[in-house]
Structure 1
Amino acid sequence: MLNLSRFATLLLLALTTTPSAQAQTAPSASEAARYSGLHAAAHQGDTARLQQLIASGADLNARDGHGRTPLHVASFAKQREVIRLLAKAGAKLDLLEDDRYDCVTIASVADDEETLRVLLSLGASAKQVTSRYEGTALIAAAHLGHDGVVKQLIAAGAPLDHVNNLHWTAVIESIVLGDGGLRHQATLRALVEAGASPRLTDREGNTPLVLARARGYTAMARIIEESRTKR
C-alpha cells in the first residue's frame, strides 16, 4: 500500500530541491558581461573570434567561476555552430560543471531538441551520471515531460532504468514529478515502449502503477497496465 505521508514528504523534497526542477545555472547577465576569450565568443556566437582563439591555442576546456567550459556556455546559449567548431577543435564534450551537469543534460532540461541533436551527433554521451542526485539527462527530461528529448536520448542509448539517489527512475519521475498531461503521457509511453521497467519501485516499494493511481493519473496508469500485459 502507498504510504501517503512518506510519499508526500519525498515529493515535496524533490519539488523543492531537485536541480532539474529549476534547471541548471546558466551564466547570468553580469557573468556573461565579464566573459573574455572563448567564453565570451561562445556566449555571443562569435564564430570568427572563436576560430582566431582556437588557432592561437586557447584552452578549449577552460572553466569560468562556476566550472562551465565554453561548450557549457554555448549549450546554454544555443550557439550550435560554436558547439560544432569547439568539438571539431577537440573540446571535451562530456565534462561536468560545478553542479555536475554536462552539455547533454543542459540541452535536455531546456527542451532544446536541436542543440541536443547536434551534441549527440558529435559524440556526446547520453549515458553519463549527472547532478548531485546521481541522475541522468533522461531522468531530468522525463521529470519535465520533454517527450521529444526523451525519444532522442533513448535512441542514443541512455540507460532506461538508472536509479538516482532518491531511488527514482525516469519512469517514476515522469509520474511523481509530472503533471499527468499529454507530454508526460508521451514521455512515459516512449520509456515503456523502449523497454524501461514498469515494475521497479521507489524506496517505499511503490510501483509506477501505484504512484500513477495515487495521483489520479488515469491515462498514465493505463499506459503502465498496457505495457505490463505485453511483457
Structure 2
Amino acid sequence: MRVAPPGRIAAARQVMRRLSAILFAFFLGLSGPLPGQAQTMHETALFTAAADGDASAIRTLLARGAPVDLRDAKGRTPLLVATHADRVEAARALIEAGADVNARDAIHDSPYLYAGARGHLEILELSLAHGADLASTNRFGGTALIPAAERGHVETVRRLIEAGVDVDHVNRLGWTALLEAIILSDGGPRQQQIVDLLIAGGADVNLPDGEGVSPLAHARRMGFDAIAARLVAAGAR
C-alpha cells in the first residue's frame, strides 16, 4: 500500500479544516447560534472582526448575541483590541453598541487610556464622547495625558487638556506630563509644542520630580535650550 508523503497529508488536513470552517459558518448563518460551541465561535469571531476592523461583522455578531464587553485571555475587550490596531470603524460599532471605553485589561490599559497614549485621535474622540474616565490611570499611575506628552502626540495632548485632564497629575515615577515631555524626549519641535500646550493649560512649571529636580533643571541638563527658554518665560526657576 502506498503512503502519501507527509507534506501532502498536512496539506489535505489543512484543506479539510478550511472546508469544515466554511460549512460551519454556512449552517450557523442558516440556523442561528448552536449551543455551546456556536457561542464560542461567535466570541472568537468578534475579536477577529475587531482586529480586522470589520464593522459589519461586528454588528452581525453582536446581533447574534456575542457580548460586547467580552474578555480574552489577556483581559482585553473587543474594543481594546480594535483600539490597539487603530480600527476606527470597528471601535465606533462597538462603542455605539455600548462597549465600555474604560474597561481595563490585565495590565490596566483601557480603550480610552490606550488611545490617548498612542495618539489614536479618532478613537480617543469617541471615548471622550462616551464616558471616558479622565482621572483613570495606567499601570504606571499616569493619566492618558502623560504618555501622550512623552511620545509627542501634539493633537492628542491638546485634546486631552481641552477635555479637562489634570495637567499636573504625578505618576508613580514622580513625573508630570511636563516632566515626561522633557525627560523622555528629544526636545524637538513636537515636544516644544507640547510644552507650550501644557504651559497654556496651566501646568506648574516649577513642580519638581520625586527627587526635587525641576523641569527647568532637566531641560538645561539635557541641552534643550528652546524648552528651557519657554519654561523661563513662564516663570520657571
Both structures adopt the same fold (TM-score exceeding 0.5): yes
Q: Higher RCO, 1 or 2 (CA under 8 Å, sep at least 6)? A: 1
Q: Is the 8 A contact 1:84 1:122 kept in 2?
A: no
Q: Which residue of 2 aligns with 1:122?
A: 130
For normalisation by structure 2, the TM-score amounts to 0.77
Q: Deviations over 1:52-101 (max 9, x none)?
A: 22112211111112111000011112221222221121111111111111
Alignment equivalent of 2:79, drawn from 71, 78, 95: 71
Q: Which residue of 2 aligns with 1:156?
A: 163
Aligned positions, number: 194
Q: Is the 8 A contact 1:104 1:119 kept in 2?
A: yes
Alignment equivalent of 1:184, drawn from 188, 191, 205: 191
Range that drifts further, 186-195 or 72-81: 72-81
Q: Deviations over 1:112-133 (max 9, x none)?
A: 22222232233323331112x1
Q: Which residue of 2 aligns with 1:56?
A: 64
Q: How does 1:128-143 map to 2 (within 5 A)?
A: 128-131=136-139, 133-143=140-150
Mapped pair 1:222 → 2:210? no
Q: Distance in 1 between matches of 2:167 and 2:117?
A: 17
Q: Which residue of 1 aligns with 2:154?
A: 147
Aligned-partner SS, 2:235: helix
Mapped pair 1:172 → 2:179? yes
Mapped pair 1:105 → 2:102? no
Aligned CA RMSD, in angstroms, stands at 1.6
Q: Is the 8 A contact 1:127 1:157 kept in 2?
A: no
Q: Distance in 1 between matches of 2:89 and 2:172?
A: 35
Q: Which residue of 2 aligns with 1:202?
A: 209
The runs of 5 or more residues in structure 1 that have no matched partner are 1-34
Counting aligned pairs with the same residue, the percent is 39
Q: Distance in 1 between matches of 2:144 and 2:196?
A: 17
Q: Is the 8 A contact 1:209 1:225 kept in 2?
A: yes
Larger Rg: 2
Aligned-partner SS, 1:100: coil
Q: Deviations over 1:23-47 (max 9, x none)?
A: xxxxxxxxxxxx8231111111222
Range that drifts further, 199-208 or 119-128: 119-128
Range that drifts further, 165-174 or 41-50: 41-50
Following superposition, the deviation at residue 145 of structure 1 comes to 1.5
The one-letter code matched in structure 2 to 1:197 is D
For normalisation by structure 1, the TM-score amounts to 0.79
The one-letter code matched in structure 1 to 2:235 is R
Q: Is the 8 A contact 2:206 2:215 kept in 1?
A: yes
Q: Which residue of 1 aligns with 2:17?
A: none
Q: Distance in 1 between matches of 2:57 and 2:120?
A: 25
The one-letter code matched in structure 1 to 2:155 is G
Aligned-partner SS, 2:173: coil
